Structure 1
Amino acid sequence: MRILVIDDDEELCCDIKQVLGENGHVAECVHDGASGVHFAGVADFDLVILDLSLPDKDGLEVCRTLRRQGLNIPVLMLTGRKEIDDRVTGLNSGADDYLGKPFEYKELLARIQALNRRLTGNRSPEIAVGDVSVDTTCHQVNLNGREIALTATEYRILEYFITNPNKLITRLEMEDRIRGTDCNYESNVIDSHIAKLRLKLAWDARTGPLQTVRGEGYRLRS
C-alpha cells in the first residue's frame, strides 16, 4: 500500500515510515494539515494516517476537508486523547478508525491490514496468475507450490500489478508507488526490478503475463 502520514512529530514519522517500509508498504510524510490536504488530493494513496493535533489545523478539519473534496480514501486517525467523545467526533468527521498514542507498531500494522480488507471487500487475499499465487495478507509468493523469495521492492511491484490486472502502468507510476516521490534514482531501475521478477517467477519476457508496452510501461495480463 502507498500511505500518506500527516503528523508534525518528525521523529515518529521517520519511525512509522521505516516500519511500513519493512512490511511491504511505501509511506510519504508531511507535517501540517495544509500539506496533507494538498498531497492527498494530487497523489494516489491507499490510506491516510492522520494525527489529530497538527500545528495549523487539527486532524478533524483535515478529515472533513478530504471528505468534502470527495476523497473516500481510508483514514486512520492517531490521537493522544483518551475521552470517548473525542474518538466519536473523529469517526463522525469521516475517519475510518482511530489509534491512541502511544501505540505498538504491530497494532498499527494490524489496523492498516483491517482497513485494507474493508477497502477490498470480499476479494480473496490470495491472487493467482497462472502458476504463481500471491497471499497479500502475509506477502507470501509461491510458484507451483514452492515459496519464492522476493525482495521488498520486487514484492511491491508484483502486488501492484496483480491488484491492477490488464491496466497499463507507466514507469513513472511504478516508481512513485514503490519508492515515493521524494526519492531520486536511475531511470532504468524499474526495468531492472522487472527483469529480476520475471526470472524468479519464470515469466518469459515475450510470452509471459507481464508484458512490456514499448515506450509506455508494462501491463499484467490476467
Structure 2
Amino acid sequence: MKYFYDLHIHSDLSPCGNDDMTPNNIVNMSYIKGLNIISVTDHNTTENLPSVSEVCEKMGITSVPGIEVTTKEEVHVLCYFKALNDAMLFGRVIYDSLPDIKNIPSIFGRQNIYNSQDEVTGTLDKLLISASRYSLKEINRMSEEYRGIMIPAHINKKSNGILEILGFMPTDLNIKVVEIFQKEKMDEDLIKNYMVLKNSDAHILTDISEAENSIELDNAEKIYDYLNIFY
C-alpha cells in the first residue's frame, strides 16, 4: 500500500518556525494534504513531540518521533526513533549539550512548547539553532544507543548539508538512508547507493509536502522497518 509522508517539519519550537506551526495546525494541514506519516523534527529538541503524537493519534496519522541535530561540524542530521520515550531522552541530551547562548525571540524567533490543545506551556531558553557539542560520528553512535537512526539531512542544500561542509559522505558511519530537499535538484550518481527520503523541511504550514512522496508499506507501522529501526 502507498503511504504519503513528510518526515521533516519544524514546529514553532524551532526559532525559525512560523508562529502558526502549532501541533494541531501541523497535523491538520498534513491531514488536509493527504499525508499518512509525518515527523516533526525541531532543531536540537524534542519537547513538542508528545503533543504532536497525541494529535496525530486522534487524526489517524502516524507520527515518527524525530529531531534535527546540528553536529559540532555544523552538519544537520535527522534522528528518528520508534519509541517516543527514547526520542525524548535523546533530545534532552542534545539540548543539554548546546552552548549557553540565550535565545532572543525578537531576533531569532519564539521557542514555544505546546500541549495538545495548542496552548503554550513553556519555552526553551537556549538558542536552538546553535551547534551541539557532539560530532557527526558521536551523534551516529548515540542515535543507535537510543534505539534510533541518524540520517544526513538535505544533503543537496548548501547550508548545513553534509556534502557541502565535508565534501564527501563518510564511509565509516554505515549510512544507509539520506534525505534530499525536495525543491532542489540532486546529482543522481551521488545517491545511487542510498535509500532516499524527499522531505519539505517546512517552517510554514503551506510548505508541508503535498501527497507526492510515497513509500510502499504493508502498513504504516512498517515505516520503522523501512528506516532500518528494528527495535
Which structure dedicates a bigger proportion of its chain to helix? 1
Structure 1-normalised TM-score? 0.34
Larger RCO (alpha carbons 8 Å, 6+ apart): 2
Q: Compare CA radii of gyration and give the structure with the larger one.
A: 1
